[in-house]
Structure 1
């Protein structure tokens, strides 16, 4: 990639060094580290091309969260105020660089609860329309059966295990409830995206999928990820969430 061009487009200062290759990889792209005279930057190269309209709401929510004090990387826009730039035929976007440690589902539950409460109190005016059915509609018994058949036919090594879990998965889906009170949420608060920092805090990354959701359901996901079957961690997380003003209850 052209480090000088990226630095110029996003007004990052003079480019001094670009990592030899991607330093991180996610579902939507790879991240390179760019050093400039003004600091360190995370340059995300997207796998698929996107438009400004597609990233506008999620980016605005991340920027609002940062303004509200949520620990998250600051978005860096281009000199024209755009989120995306086309570099060598690929869409890229830039964030401030944050040194992060490996995912850890045993993070301090009180710290996690307070951060999630802060996210759920970020005020934005545009919820972005209806929730994608992917977030709240069950897969359904027929589709699970089709998927198992397709995987068995393809020789997938996990096909047998999935087939054994079919009944349990269908039963679990009967518990799915429709979202009630909608507000903007992160919608991807797993340990991969709530990462420890060197100073003992956390940083919330990958806001690309944020959008309307029921904060109570998101809090339930957070409890599953960071508390599991530990009653003490569950109490610590929910108490911290409520004390920090979080609106959801489970």
Structure 2
């Protein structure tokens, strides 16, 4: 089927080649695989500044290896540690790669997963692949409600991130903002303030669904990878946070997709708008920050998602007016 148009830049980080890993890391991976790595192919896509490689041993065993050090990015090792905890706890019925093992020496954190043959959805998004993923997102929420994993509530995980409008309002940093946003900043802060109570739930959510965190398999399956941001939230939270990225990468307008989807159809409209407002504030405020080490394109990617989230928010506000946000 024909693709939609696209505006977002590619989701890419500054990947570290497998060959540049220290010998102790090579040895740790070899111990987990039962043999030294003979081949390694770096994978494109995603924002990690570390290693992301499909590897193989001489006897044919294959795996996917993620590794990062504190030198590449101070925050990334903590994310890998969180992913290791979540991935190890996910039941086998979840559409996610199995964790084979991990290594952590305080500087390098390494995760070794089963290698899942498949490809990322095409960008710009194709209608058939998007339909396949949207169906899988519904199934994922059903599988993970109630959560089988101990994870933080979304209100804890995103307490700082979803305060973007409030932070900009307090700092007065409005230079360069979209004129509509600058004019309505106090109301946007007010509208988004109760987001946490609306986003609360007992579903384990992925928290970062994008094309580069999804694999489509030859048998029609959909596999969700990269779980460091997992948290407890409403069953529709993943759908909502995913759709601005889909739109920025050539997908359809989010409102129709969300309201026609089984997870979004019965969600409280006012609650959805509050959470969407907080998400838009997250993207807009983060896009104005300097890029973190090893992630040169992340701010442009967040900017594109912010534009999409704001467009969606204004569509909802036109359909369901809120005083002071015309």
TM-score band w.r.t. shorter chain: 0.5 to 0.7
RMSD: 3.8
Aligned partners of 2:46 and 2:228: how far apart in 1? 11
TM-score (normalizing by structure 1): 0.67
Give per-residue Cα distances to partners, 1:146-190, cap 9 Å, x unaligned. 2x54xxxxxxxxxx4x44453377355543222333553211123
Deviation at 1:45? 1.8
Identify which of 182, 189, 205 aligns with 1:167.
182
State whether residues 187 and 213 of structure 1, in contact with CA within 8 Å, keep that contact through their aligned partners in structure 2. Answer: no
> Aligned residue for 2:169?
142
Query: Closer, same or farther in 2 for the Cα pair 1:233/1:166, shift >3 Å?
Result: closer
Say which structure is richer in strand.
1
Partner of 1:41: 63
Structure 2 unmatched ranges of 5 or more: 1-20, 247-251, 269-326
**For residues 186-239 of structure 1, what are the alpha-carbon distances to aligned partners after superposition, in whole Å with 9 as ceiling and x for unaligned?**
11123332332232221101101212334343343345556644747753x317
Count of matched residue positions in the alignment of Structure 1 and Structure 2: 221
Preserved contact between residue 100 and residue 196 of structure 1 (Cα < 8 Å)? yes
Residue equivalent to 2:148: 123
Paired with 2:225 and 2:191, the residues of 1 have a C-alpha distance of: 29
Task: Return the match for 1:75 from 78, 91, 99.
Answer: 99
Q: 1:31–1:42: 8 Å Cα contact kept in structure 2?
A: yes
Tell me, in whole angstroms, the C-alpha distance in 2 between the residues paired with 1:111 and 1:17.
32
Question: Which residue does 1:152 correspond to in 2?
Answer: none
In 2, are the aligned partners of 1:59 and 1:75 still within 8 Å (CA)?
A: yes
CA distance in 2, matches of 1:9, 1:50: 27
Residue in 1 that maps onto 2:88: 63
Residues 95, 224 of structure 2: 8 Å contact kept: yes
Is 1:93 matched with 2:111? yes
| Counterpart residue number, 1:84 | 103
Shift >6 Å, 4+ stretches: 49-54
- TM-score, structure 2 length as denominator? 0.54
Q: Which moved more, 1:198-207 or 1:133-142?
A: 133-142
> What is the CA distance between 1:86 and its match in structure 2?
4.2
Q: Which runs of 5+ in 1 are unaligned?
A: 78-82, 150-159, 243-247
1:155 corresponds to which residue? none
Higher helix share: 2
